[in-house]
Amino acid sequence: MLSRVAESLFWMSRYFERAENTARFLDVNFNLLLDLNKITHIENPSYWVALILVTSDKERFNTLYDEYSARTVTDYLVFNKSNPNSITSCIGLARENARSIIESISSEMWEQVNNLYHYLQNVTPQFVQNDPYGFYKEIKNASHLFQGITDNTFSHNEGWDFIQIAKYLERTDNIARLIDVKYHMLLSEAQSQPELVAGSEDIIQWMAVLKSCSALEAFRKVYLSKIDPDNILRFLILDRTFPRSINFSVCAAEDALWRISGSSRHRYVNNADRLIGKLEAELSYTAIEDIFSKGLHLYLADLEQRLVKVGEQVHLTYFAYHTPEIESSDIEEALPFTGVAGGRANWSQAQQHQQQQ
Amino acid sequence: MSRYFERYEAETSRFFDEVISKEGTPRTHYDKMLHRFGQFSIDDIKARREIVNIFFRNQGITFTVYGEEEGVERLFPFDLIPRVLPANEWQTIERGLTQRITALNAFLHDIYHGQKILKDKVIPAELILGSQHFRREFVGVNPPLGIYIHVTGSDIIRDGEGNYLVLEDNLRTPSGVSYMLQNRQAMKRAFPVLFDKYKIRPIENYPQELLRTLQEIAPASRRDPNVVVLTPGIYNSAYFEHSFLARQMGVELTEGKDLVVNNNKVYTRTTRGLEQVDVVYRRVDDAYLDPLVFRPDSKLGVAGIVNAYRKGNVTLANAIGCGVADDKVIYSFVPEIIKYYLGEDPILENVPTWLASNPSDLKYILANLDSLVVKAANESGGYGMLIGPESTIEQQENFAEMIVANPRNYIAQPTISLSRHPSFFNDTELFGCHIDLRPYVLYGKTVTIVPGGLTRVALKRGSLVVNSSQGGGSKDTWVVDE
């Protein structure tokens, strides 16, 4: 498979998953505020600032808006085109990547990306405000449909594995960030209203975190109704069977990487395989107490760093393949997290417009 | 007859109409179509228009309008009324094009080898050797099977009497064949009943024929040749076509950066290392193909690919340097070229052409700028043109200056009123729009032409320019057996 095609499959999948997760973040926040509106004010900025904090985007946000509110945060995370991680940007980038490999993916996959893109072109802030639940559900379902279409119309070979790696790396990162939202909320509340940290509000917040991972029902089947933070974290981080847990996602990414390279347990052939294997092994032998003793926030921050490293190694191993004839500057152009966006558009767009007979 | 066609004004005294004869009656090969359209209400037509639009949009058959904000992608204008070509007329076109392309290929081979035609003074040598598309460095290079022009698309028009004439030859990277194929798919969805009524020759095998042709021209030593398509990239206006053809043939679509040359062999960069490439169907102009040989600032090309080609390790389709034969000045010599190499009279005539480089022609051109069409010899896509009857005195004076300054670069032709075909101006009204025809010719071990081609329509009322960059659209083209 062409390295470029593999890379575009990877980013198409990754941006799609990112859009879904952003929809989940926002959806759960709205739900949470509805549950809480007897206890606290719906426009309480501490609930909205957390969403910006977990995306590590505080600076850019502050240059665009002067308050944290439902309106500004929704605008930033759903519509804003200068935010590369907004839902609109992500789907635009997923589509751009898909378009550049339209001959490699199934036409059903293309139609699904394209449909969602056109749907988003017609969505207004008013529409989202009137029916946030309906809108986020639409995004989530579109993503599920895309994955279902991919699984059923696209050969399960190397290209499919790159799609899986991207999806699960992105998902792992997002679950970690989502759990971290809760951390940020607790932190900002502890500063403003210390009396509220523990109690019914706390339980409601944790339930919201579960809901945003579509995990509440699965959780209850395991832990019945014992909704306490230890169990919830144990489930979201360490459970091996739930598809939106960190452990499950890391295992799935590892499987896909190993299928591509032919690595097996105790025998890795490249650094991407080594790093993901190490991460998986550690997760398998970690108890929730280990995480607490390190500190939840630190643990999650470290995990996110390691996921970035895996992504870098995937890039170097498969996408940046080069021979001595190719100057290294070419490789630097294609840094992770840009995909087909930005940089590439500038350098060759003018020449690509050459006359056609 | 249809309520649509009842109100249709063919203006047969001024134009050759494809559907209505001079006597005002429909031509027989259109009978069944008129009957079928007669059964449609305006709502029926709108519903079918919607089917077609959804089909095109879902397939991603849009073209990007340059210079506008991201997301501005337009549907390629498509007209619902198909063009019907009777088999006997098609046979003439097919024979004529086969003859023409065979002769042009012989001409290219000669120009890049012994140059006999220049020595025999059939064509003035300075016209060839001074052409910007003549590639001196390829004299003596032998492409496999001696073929230079593997994929071509000549533009054919009909004059006021309905004669088929060749307007120009596109021997470098003709585009539009994907529209031909997709138009047929769209029509099948929207008008299935009509397909039952006609024996329409299929065109769906074009991608297989293209692949077969490309495999036939692979370097002789290579078994099971590896074919790739080379595109300038996703921002090119014909990108959809490049990816469509790659997908239909089941080969890789590559950009310049996907290919590397090592030891005069061309390879693709893959997740498993390098894989050798034998045939490159390139949709990149000569000028951008190899920064080591042509434009050094090209980011689209592959450094070293030209040397690999000269060594015979890879075949390029089309060959380098074909532009010398589709230059509009050389066009005027094609009848002589056919006679010279094949000893035959041309089956398809040229449009009469005056060369500004010829002093007596130049005088005539300058005296008749208000009635002629003047064209720059090396432009395509409808650029660099003066349409005399539609131009202002100022534009004419401008062109006169340019022509005198550089006569080699200009030709003139009479303003031919292209034949017209009823087309939906909107969904409620039919209007006679000017059309042309671009059949696609494949040349490997044999010459193959899929029946029909792309009929382009000037959808602007009264406009003569059919190029998509200038507001043109297209319609499905049916070669029918009675």
B357, B477: one domain: no
Same domain as B467, residue B432? yes
Minimal C-alpha gap between B64 and chain A (Å): 10
Residue in chain A lying closest to B63 (CA): A353
Min Cα separation A91/chain B (Å): 12
Interchain contact, B236 vs A353, CB within 8 Å: yes
Strand B473-481 relative to strand B78-86, pairing = parallel
**Domain ranges across chain A:** 3-320
**Whole-angstrom distance, CA of residue B437 vs CA of residue B184:** 15
Choose the final residue of a domain: B415, B433, B465: B415
**Last residue within a domain, chosen from B395, B415, B435:** B415
Within 10 angstroms of residue A113's Cβ, the number of other Cβ atoms is 26
- Give the Cα separation of B474 and B249 in Å (integer): 24
Whether the complex's predicted ipTM is more than 0.90 is answered with no
Interface of B with A in 134-163 (CB under 8 A): 153
B259 pairs with which residues across the strands?
B268
pLDDT in tens, B125-139: 988 988 888 998 899
Domain-embedded: residue B26: yes
**A196 falls in which pLDDT band (50, 70, 90)?**
very low
**What is the spatial distance between Cα A242 and Cα B87, in angstroms, rounded to a whole number?**
64
Lowest mean pLDDT among A95-109, A165-179, A314-328: A314-328
| Cβ-based neighbours of B143, under 8 Å, separated by 6 or more | B217, B315, B319
Mean pLDDT of chain B: 90
- Mark which residues 380-409 of B lie under 8 Å from A by CB: 380-381, 383
Question: Taking the model in full, what pTM does it have?
Answer: 0.81
Q: Are residues B410 and B435 in the same domain?
A: no
B461 vs B458: CA distance, rounded Å: 8
Quote the radius of gyration of chain B (alpha carbons, Å).
23
Q: Is the Cβ–Cβ distance between B107 and B152 less than 8 Å?
A: no
Contact B58/A355, CB-based, under 8 Å? no
Residue A221 pLDDT exceeds 70: yes
Question: Does A332 contact chain B (CB < 8 Å)?
Answer: no
**B173 touching A (Cβ < 8 Å):** yes
Distance CA A51, CA A54 (A): 6
B374 lies in a domain? Answer: yes
Q: Does B232 touch chain A (CB under 8 A)?
A: yes
Taking only residues 410 to 429 of chain B, the set having a beta carbon closer than 8 angstroms to any beta carbon of chain A reads none
Note whether A225 contacts B: Cβ–Cβ < 8 A: no
Say whether pLDDT at A326 is over 60: no
Q: Is residue B85 part of a domain?
A: yes
B318 inside 8 A of chain A by CB: no
Nearest CB partner across the interface for B235, out of A1, A101, A353: A353
For residue A264 the two structure tokens come to 């097996």
Say yes or no: B476 and B362 in one domain: no
Contact criterion met (CB < 8 Å) for A2 and B57 = no
The domain that holds B378 is classified in CATH as: 3.30.1490.270
How far does A317 lie from chain B, in Å, by closest CA? 8
Structure tokens at A106: 């199934």
Cβ–Cβ of A352/B232 closer than 8 Å? yes
The answer to whether A213 and A175 are in contact (CB under 8 A) is: yes
- Name B317's bridge partners: B281
Provide mean pLDDT across the span B296-302.
88
Q: Which two tokens stand for residue B119?
A: 């020595």
Q: What is the pLDDT of residue A345?
A: 34
Chain B CB contacts of A352 below 8 Å: 232-236, 239, 300
Helices (H), B173-313: 177-190, 192-197, 206-216, 239-249, 286-289, 305-310
Contact flag B58-A111 (C-beta cutoff 8 Å): yes
User: What is the spatial distance between Cα B93 and Cα B86, in angstroms, rounded to a whole number?
Assistant: 11
How many other C-beta atoms lie within 10 A of the C-beta of residue A39? 13
Q: What Cα–Cα distance (Å) separates residue B295 from each residue in B138, B239, B254, B308? A: 17, 21, 20, 17
Kindly state the average pLDDT of the residues A27-51: 73
Whether residue B473 sits in one domain with residue B372: no
Q: Do A111 and B255 touch (CB under 8 A)?
A: no
Domain closes at, from B415, B447, B463: B415
Work out whether strand B473-481 and strand B199-200 pair parallel, antiparallel, or are unpaired: antiparallel
Regarding whether B38 and B85 lie in a shared domain, the answer is: yes
The secondary structure of residue A264, as a DSSP letter, is B
* Cα–Cα dist B454/B206, whole Å: 13
B60 versus A73: the higher-pLDDT residue is A73
- Number of structural domains in chain B: 2
**C-beta separation of A15 from A171 below 8 A:** no
Closest-CA distance, B270 to chain A, in angstroms, reads: 4
Rounded to an integer, the average pLDDT of A177-183 is 81
Compare CB distances from A4 to B232, B258, B383 and report the shortest one's residue. B258
Radius of gyration for the alpha carbons in chain A, expressed in angstroms and rounded:
21
Identify the domain containing residue B411 by its residue range: 352-415
Q: Is the pLDDT of residue B334 over 70?
A: yes
